[in-house]
Amino acid sequence: MQFLLIAFDGVDEGAAGRRLAAREAHIKLGDEMVAAGRMLFGTAILDDERRMTGSMLVLDFPSRDELDAWYAVEPYVTGNVWERVDIRPCAVGPSFLGMTAAGTD
Which pLDDT score is estimated for 96? 79
Distance CA 55, CA 68 (A): 17
pLDDT per position as a tens digit, 21-58:
999 999 999 999 999 999 999 999 999 999 999 999 99
Output Rg (C-alpha) for the chain, integer angstroms: 14
Strands 39-46 and 2-9: unpaired
pLDDT per position as a tens digit, 56-103:
999 999 999 999 999 999 999 999 999 999 999 999 888 877 766 555
The amino acid that residue 102 corresponds to is A
Which pLDDT score is estimated for 104? 45
Which pLDDT score is estimated for 51? 93
Distance CA 83, CA 104 (A): 35
**H helices present in the chain, as ranges:** 15-35, 64-73, 75-78
Mean local confidence (pLDDT), 1-19:
96
Model confidence, pTM: 0.89
From 3.30.70.1060, 2.102.10.10, 1.10.40.60, 3.60.15.10, which CATH number describes the 2-104 domain? 3.30.70.1060
Q: Phi and psi for 97 in degrees, rounded to 5?
A: -60, -25
Which residue ranges make up each domain of the chain? 2-104
